Chains A and B, each alone.
Chain A
Amino acid sequence: MLRLERQPQDSRLMAWCSPLLAIALTLAAGALLFAVLGHKPLESLYEFFLGGVKDIYSVGELGVKVTPILLCAVGLVLCYRANVWNIGAEGQFIAGALCAGMAALAGLDIDTPWYAVVIMLAGMLGGMIWAGIAAWLKTHFACNEILTTIMLNYVAYNLLQYGVHGPLKDPQGFNFPESAMFNDNHLLPVILEGTRLHGGILIAAVAVIAVVLLLRYTHLGFKITVLGRDASAATFAGFGSKQLTWIVLLACGGLAGLAGAGEVDGPIGQLTPYISSGYGYAAIIVVFLGRQQPVGAVLASILLGLTYLGGETSQIKLGLPVSLTELFQGMLLFFLLACDLFIGYRLRWIPRVHPA
């Protein structure tokens, strides 16, 4: 019979193979699903995953979708490495967007494209303040950051609603809950002609490189990793765990805030009640899919971005329902969790022993 047994050591090979296996299983299950729905499995899979990126515009759109998710995910990598369970990238994203929006609206008449820098910095600051609240609550009152960050998501969302329904509403907008459009001059520049791909992706790229270098080559990165692996060892070594908590949360808040600022000061161009379509939450999936590695997060966010775009193209080209996107994301996560079991465990065939 088959038995599941604990391995003496986690399998490193399996840790890297598990996401690939999960993707393969998702594709297989997806093919089956398409077949059951009466579509040609291989063509449908192709349309779903690659139909959305056939031309330069679509590739740019993939970048637009990936940018905010990746920025949030890179920040979360730092937090989760340090065992700080920040579920609040969504709130930090919104706080960043809100502050960036306020800066943009305050400076509508300023006549220089460089004002975009001010807008982005305001967004970064907004995200840092939001994450800072959670850091303060954790370090001073030992509040569980999972609860505080998730609650702060709702607070940020409602602050945004208040803003666009109240003081930030477009005076010429017939009372509709939206801000005025930002000054076109202040929007992040488009870096690929004919697409909406904006400077935000460069910020995301810099963030990825910075976090890779930080974790691999610096003392601070080492301390973060030690804190995450064994908090008491970190304390023995004299690494201030409070200080590290502040650092990772502020870094994540800043990056998520930049993501929010990039959305409103890029493709959206104004404050509306719905600026995030769950980027902060999607980033959590991305971090786990990417093995809590910055480079893994890049690959995982591209994969997730493809499923979002694929959901749209398969509606347009194949007439399939939108729930398919969620189904694919759900399957991916499900198979990943299932495959992860085999990092620490293995199956063994034990022959049944018959009494003589």
Chain B
Amino acid sequence: MKLKLKQLLAGLGLMTCAVMAQAEEPLKVGFVYVGPVGDLGWSYEHDQGRQEMEKYFNGKVKTTYVENVPEGADAERVITQLAKDGNKVIFTTSFGFMNATYKVAKKFPNVIFEHATGYKRLPNMGTYVLRTYEGRYVSGVAAGMLTKSNTIGYIGAFPIPEVIRDIDAVYMGAKSVNPNVKLKIVWANTWYDPGKEADAANALMDQGVDVLIQHTDSPAPLIAAEKRGGVRAIGQASDMSKFAPNAHVYSVRDHWAPYYIKVVQSVMDGTYKPQDYWGGFHEDVLQLASINDNLPADVKQAINDTYAKIKSGELKPFTGPIKDNTGKEVVAAGHALTDEELAQVNWYVEGIDDKIPQ
């Protein structure tokens, strides 16, 4: 009998050990990137967010990433493999992964999927997007004050709502400080292509643009602006100050870590709910990085003030009355666009002398 008790105790001990080991098993979290982690832009910042999140959970989370995943038939396989490999949360970080993520999410109901910038959701699939237009509005204010030729240039990626919305925000910001400002837009038709982006930057500067704002991810436009001299440029996605020590105004940095921490924490707590997440200055997922010391004091002041106003919610860039550039009222007086409405912006605000490519 004594022996049996001993055995029982030993068995219990083993069991507790096993339970403890299980509790200490880290939660596996997977990431899928469209670019290489060294792109210094979009994928780079997602990877920074991943690292910061993993550090935050201090051993309780183990992350895996797959980079340079084509947005064709391969994406579905990569996402499936991550799910089969035991990852409980999978972040797919490019719009082109939407349908692949959706298909895999249906097959793995016990895995949480989070897709950046898309619009399809499931009980185990949420979406997240940045209020990049908040950064753009500040950029518009800075550019409107800095421009001597009264001409700002915008390097567009693709004419999707996010980019159209950001162009509008830039123009409204610039107009608020400089009534004579003009905006010139060039479509690079790429998210990342240093060659094309530099060409676009040069084309804009040849037309008299002296402040460049880019929606594309490489530092090439900043380098082109630095080389030209007398031109200012605003960095995109990550801190790009080192590429243009003189021309750099500041960079609007994507800072994904707070969101990644939030989602992973909610999965650990069992409180995860899929949502259509929008985050900006207020949530600290969008930041202004490295405001250049060589800016005039009033410009620095205006940048900081506008940032603070948007962060506190005092200033909402898309508040009516707003007319589009055909004269039609698109936002009624006093109404601030909801997230759902923001997702469908497909008009240029009054004063932008251009047409959205169809």
Give residues in A with beta carbon < 8 Å to B. 57-58, 61, 64-65, 161, 165-166, 174-178, 181, 196, 263, 266-270, 272-277, 308-309, 312-313, 315-317, 319, 321-323
Residues of the B chain whose Cβ atoms lie less than 8 Å from the Cβ of A275 = 72
Interface status of B25 (Cβ within 8 A of chain A): no
Query: Given A276-B72, A316-B85, A319-B64, do A176 and B77 touch, yes or no (CB 8 Å)?
Result: no
A270 to B103, CA, bound (A): 13
Q: Are A174 and B96 in contact, CB atoms less than 8 angstroms apart?
A: no
Assess the B344–A174 pair: CB atoms within 8 A: yes
Q: How far is the CA of A174 from the CA of B95 in the complex (A)?
A: 12
- Asked if A177 contacts B158 (CB within 8 A), the reply is yes
| Minimum C-beta distance from B348 to chain A (A) | 13
For B25-56 the 0/1 string (1 means CB < 8 A from A) is: 00000100000100000000000000000000
The answer for the CA separation of A312 and B85 in the assembled complex, in Å, is: 12
B242 interface contact, C-beta 8 A: no
B71 contacts across to A, CB distance below 8 A: 272-274
Given contacts A273-B71, A316-B81, 20 further A-B contacts (CB under 8 A): A58-B81, A61-B77, A64-B77, A165-B357, A174-B160, A176-B95, A176-B160, A177-B158, A181-B99, A270-B99, A272-B72, A273-B96, A274-B70, A275-B72, A277-B73, A309-B77, A316-B82, A316-B85, A322-B36, A323-B36
Q: List 14 A-B contacts (CB under 8 A).
A: A57-B84, A65-B73, A65-B74, A165-B357, A175-B161, A274-B71, A274-B96, A277-B70, A308-B74, A312-B66, A312-B69, A317-B85, A322-B36, A323-B36
Are the C-beta atoms of B81 and A268 separated by less than 8 Å? Answer: no
Given the contacts A270-B99, A322-B66, A312 and B72 also touching, CB distance less than 8 Å: no
The chain A residue sitting closest to B187, CB to CB, is A165
B68 within 8 A of A: yes
A-B CB pair tally, cutoff 8 Å:
83
Q: Is B82's CB under 8 angstroms from A321's CB?
A: no
Within 8 Å by CB of A322, from B67, B76, B77, B158, lies B67
Instruction: A267 to B71: give the CA distance in the assembly, Å.
Output: 12
B residues less than 8 Å from A61 (CB atoms): 77
Q: Which residue of B lies closest to A61 (CB)?
A: B77
User: Could you tell me the distance in whole angstroms from the C-beta of A175 to the nearest C-beta in chain B?
Assistant: 5
Q: Which of B68, B72, B96, B346 has its CB near the most chain A CB atoms (within 10 A)?
A: B72
Q: How large is the interface on B (under 10, 10 to 19, 20 to 34, 35 or more residues)?
A: 35 or more
Q: Contacts A268-B73, A269-B99, A321-B67 known; A312 to B344 CB distance under 8 Å?
A: no
Question: Across the interface, which residues of A come within 8 angstroms of B161, CB to CB?
Answer: 174-175
Q: Which B residues touch A322, using CB under 8 A?
A: 36, 66-68
Q: List the A residue with the shortest CB-CB distance to B37.
A: A321
- Give the residue name and chain of the A residue nearest to B80 (CB): A57
Contact B78 A312 (CB under 8 A): yes
Q: Which 3 A-B pairs have the closest CB atoms?
A: A277-B70, A267-B73, A274-B71
CB proximity of A167 to chain B, nearest CB, Å = 9
Q: Is the Cβ of A165 less than 8 Å from the Cβ of B159?
A: yes
- B159: chain A residues within 8 A (beta carbon): 165, 175
Write out the residue numbers on chain B whose beta carbons fall within 8 Å of the beta carbon of A175.
159-161, 164, 346
Closest approach, in angstroms, between the C-beta of B261 and any C-beta of chain A? 21
A312 touches B77 (CB 8 A): yes
Cα distance, A277 to B76, chains bound together (Å): 14
A273 proximity list for chain B (CB < 8 A): 71, 96
Contact at B68–A272, with CB atoms within 8 Å?
no
| B189 CB within 8 Å of chain A | yes
- Return A9 CB to nearest CB of chain B, in Å: 44
B259 at the interface (CB under 8 A from A): no
Asked if B65 CB lies within 8 Å of chain A CBs, one says yes
Which of B67, B73, B76, B346 is A315 in contact with, Cβ under 8 Å?
B67
CB pair A166 B72 closer than 8 Å:
no
Closest to A177 in B: B158
- Once the chains are docked, how many angstroms separate the CA of A45 from the CA of B346? 50
* B343 interface hit (Cβ, 8 Å): yes
A166 near B119: Cβ-Cβ < 8 Å: no
Closest chain-A Cβ to B85's Cβ sits at a distance in Å of 6
Asked whether A312 and B81 contact (CB < 8 A) given A174-B160, A267-B76, A268-B73, the answer is: yes
Q: Contact: B73 with A64, CB < 8 Å? A: yes
- B73, B82, B96, B164 pick with most chain A CB within 10 angstroms: B73
Alpha-carbon distance between A321 and B73 when the two chains are bound, in angstroms: 21
Docked pose: A277 CA to B343 CA in angstroms? 29
B271 at the interface (CB under 8 A from A): no
- CB neighbours (8 Å) of A274 from chain B are 70-72, 96
**Interface presence of B358 (CB below 8 A):** yes
The 0/1 profile, CB within 8 Å of A marked 1, for residues 94-136 of chain B is 0110010000000000000000000100000000000000000
A268 near B72 with CB under 8 A, answer yes
Residue of A nearest to B85 (CB): A316
Task: Give complex CA distance A204, B227 in Å.
Answer: 52
CB–CB A196/B76 < 8 A: yes
| Cα distance, A268 to B99, chains bound together (Å) | 9
Question: Shortest CB–CB separation between residue B279 and chain A, in angstroms?
Answer: 19
Contacts of A64 in B (CB 8 A): 73, 77
Considering the complex, give the chain B residue whose CB is closest to the CB of A172: B119
In the bound complex, how far is the Cα of B74 from the Cα of A263, in angstroms? 11
Closest to A326 in B: B68
Question: Which residues on the B side are within 8 Å of A277 (C-beta)?
Answer: 70, 72-74
Complex CA gap A321/B71 in Å reads: 18
How distant is A86 from chain B, measured CB to nearest CB, in Å?
Answer: 22
Note all chain B residues with C-beta closer than 8 A to A181.
99
Chain A residues contacting B73 (CB-CB under 8 Å) are: 64-65, 196, 263, 266-268, 277
Q: Which chain B positions have C-beta within 8 A of A323?
A: 36
Q: CA of A313 to CA of B95 in the docked complex: distance in angstroms?
A: 23
CB proximity of B129 to chain A, nearest CB, Å? 12
Most B Cβ at <10 Å: residue of A64, A65, A269, A322: A322
> Which residues from A are CB-within-8-Å of B66?
312, 315-316, 322
- A166 surroundings in chain B (CB, below 8 A): 358
A267 to B70, CA, bound (A): 13
Q: How many angstroms from the CA of A161 to the CA of B157 in the assembled complex?
A: 13
B30 smallest CB distance to A (angstroms): 8
Q: Give A313 Cβ to nearest chain B Cβ, in Å.
A: 7
Looking across the interface, which residue of chain A has its beta carbon closest to that of B33? A322
The chain A residue sitting closest to B67, CB to CB, is A322
Closest to A176 in B: B160
In the bound complex, how far is the Cα of B72 from the Cα of A273, in angstroms?
Answer: 9
Q: Which residues of B contact A263 (CB under 8 A)?
A: 72-73
